[in-house]
A and B are shown apart, each in its own frame.
Chain A
Amino acid sequence: MSGNISERLPQIDLDHSFDLEELLSGVDVDKLLRSLGVLTGLEFALLNEGDDLVAGKVLDGTDKGAPISVDLEPIGSICASTASAEINNAAAVLFMAILKCNYRYKIASEMHLRIVQADYDELQRRHDELKESERKYRELSDSLERRVAEQVDTIENAQRQLYQAEKMASVGQLASGVAHEINTPIGFIQSNMSTAQGYVEKLQNYAALLKSKATYEELSAEWSQQDMDYVVEDFALLVKESLDGSRRVAKIVGDLKGFSRADSIGKEYADLNEVLRKVCSVAKPKMGSGELKLKLQPVPSVLCDAGALGQVFLNLIINAAQAMDGIGCIDIASSSQNSELQVNIKDNGPGIPEDVLPRIFDPFFTTKDVGVGTGLGLTVCNDVVKSHGGKLLVDSVVGSGTTFTIVIPLIKAA
């Protein structure tokens, strides 16, 4: 439904001048003239403005009759069969009274029509406006959905990049710790070996003397002079020390290998106690004069991403160490009961202020200095634990310390 109502309704100007025929519509003019005839015993002719017969009988006379005026203007005349100004006038008055009623009715209905039309047009206009605004809102909502999707994409990308950066940062921390750990044994192995090189030379020289068939006295004098007793004793010590050192390096590399599975996708059964031990040996150099205490109870193997959980443990331990500023003790405990496995990482640091506590898992929220923390560490931890169907809980008392509890459901092997 559209279009202007004026296309469908007859439109008459409010100031329109009606002619006789128009004003007679709805009036049974023949009946009226017949009644007039009965009353007067005469016949009548009703003429319009152009003197054409509208009703009644054609009369011969030249009498023009009495004018009929409505709204100041003559619109016709009425004439009786017997010329009488008085009767003509009386008939005209009668007709004018009837026509005036009709005139009144017509302009009232015309006005009513106009008002209805104006109101309808107004409603139509508002309807069109509403339709237009509805269309705009629909468009807006469509584009909004698209834009939200785009924004979500952007945010997810940024989050992935930050997550990657966070990972790289912890890899960097790890690397510096590992370098330090390996450097010490490598250092003394190197020094041991260079000393051993000197001992080998001495032994070679002594061997040459032996082969030259020198006498026992000569050999004995040389043995004492070169202090060969000490050389042999110290050599054995050097080799033992170096072997210990290389074993230490091998152990670190082994831990690292287990830890580097952080990138491996997919879950397999792993002993979280083993993961905790490895993480602790990686974290130890970060502890300064702080202590790390492991209180591990035997726990069943659990289907998990051991690398990712290792990251979570490391992250929480490093956070705790940073909070304690290198002084204090971190207790790491594991336990299992019923269908759940729990790991508690408890520090006796300053605790987390109440106003900060509800926000610690929010992305990008950090209390660390700019450039130190990304504000994603705990967010990622939380995500990782959740991806195992578990919970990361925190309990903190300002002044006495913070405990993070990781709860992982045990899923029975099929």
Chain B
Amino acid sequence: MAELDEKKLKLTVKLVYYGPALSGKTTNLIRLHDVLSPELKGEMMTLETQNDRTLFFDLLPVGFRAPSGLLIKFKLYTVPGQVAHDSTRKAVLSRADGVVFVADSQSTQGVNNAESFNNLAENAQRVGLDFDRLPLVVQFNKRDMPNIVSEEEVEKRWSRTPWKVVYSSALSGMGVGETFNELLRIVYADLNDKYALLSDHGTNEALFLESVMGGLSE
């Protein structure tokens, strides 16, 4: 739940990259850090890793100032994908304004993807998020790998869900910006409803996307 700090004229938006272990959540954030050119971009902070595996979370802060003077700050988090760290996932997911579910496209990972997605739905409910209304984009990552599920198969499974599917290869950066752009688009609609971004703060969707994505916005 984004929080509007009226005194400091600040809106903090929390976006979470969720998904099974080793599906490329941290890589997504690293790429975003490289390619985004928002007005304000902090350094990427990695909290506790072990053998390149995220134990706590990664955090990338970006932001911009709206024409009204409102500072809109985004905090991009990743969760640890390993099953054991469920408490951490819940803590990170708590009060999220939007989620990117990073699925592993390799055909051997179907079960892990499904378990992680169910875990997302369960944890969302546990931390008090309405999963049906939570802005969510599904990313099928690792499209550069051999032995991946075909786009037809993915379509067959996801076309009836309300969620947009984006294909990516986070290592090369392909699809990473597009995924984030899609998420921002639905998050904007949500935030505009709640905080009147357009009428009170002079920020329409195009400006919102442009200010965060830089030249990458679509």
Contact = CB atoms under 8 A, between A and B. Distances in A.
B47 A111 contact: yes
Interface residues of B, number: 29
Chain A binding surface SS class: helix
Given A73-B71, A73-B73, A104-B45, A14 B91 contact: yes
A42 interface: no
B12 to A, nearest CB: 6
B95 interface: yes
Interface of B: 3, 5, 8, 10, 12, 14, 40-43, 45, 47-48, 56-57, 59, 61-63, 71, 73, 75, 87-88, 90-92, 94-95
For the complex of A and B, list the 8 residue pairs with the smallest distance between their C-beta atoms, beginning with the closest.
Answer: A115-B87, A114-B91, A118-B87, A72-B40, A72-B63, A108-B47, A72-B61, A72-B42
Contacts, number: 51
Contact of B56 (A17, A71, A108): A108
A114 B62 CA distance: 24
Nearest to B38: A72
A15 B75 contact: yes
Given A72-B40, A104-B45, A119 B87 contact: yes
B42 A71 contact: yes
Contacts of B73: 72-73
B201 to A, nearest CB: 18
Contacts of B56: 108, 111-112
Interface in A101-148: 104, 107-108, 111-112, 114-115, 118-119, 122
Given A14-B91, A111-B56, A104 B75 contact: no
Given A73-B71, A108-B47, A115-B88, A14 B61 contact: no
Given A14-B91, A73-B10, A107-B47, 6 more contacts: A14-B92, A14-B95, A17-B8, A72-B41, A115-B87, A122-B87
B63 A15 contact: no
Contact of B88 (A100, A107, A111): A111
A118 B90 contact: yes
B95 A71 contact: no
A211 to B, nearest CB: 129
Contacts of A73: 10, 71, 73
A108 B73 CA distance: 20
Nearest to B3: A15
A72 B175 CA distance: 26
B82 to A, nearest CB: 14
Contacts of B47: 104, 107-108, 111
Given A15-B95, A114-B91, A115-B88, A108 B48 contact: yes
19 contacts: A15-B14, A15-B95, A17-B5, A17-B8, A17-B10, A17-B12, A72-B40, A72-B41, A73-B10, A73-B71, A100-B43, A104-B47, A107-B59, A108-B47, A108-B48, A108-B56, A111-B56, A111-B88, A118-B91
A113 to B, nearest CB: 9
Nearest to A112: B56
A15 B12 CA distance: 8
A104 B49 CA distance: 13
Contacts of A108: 47-48, 56
Contacts of A122: 87
Nearest to B47: A108
A122 B126 CA distance: 12
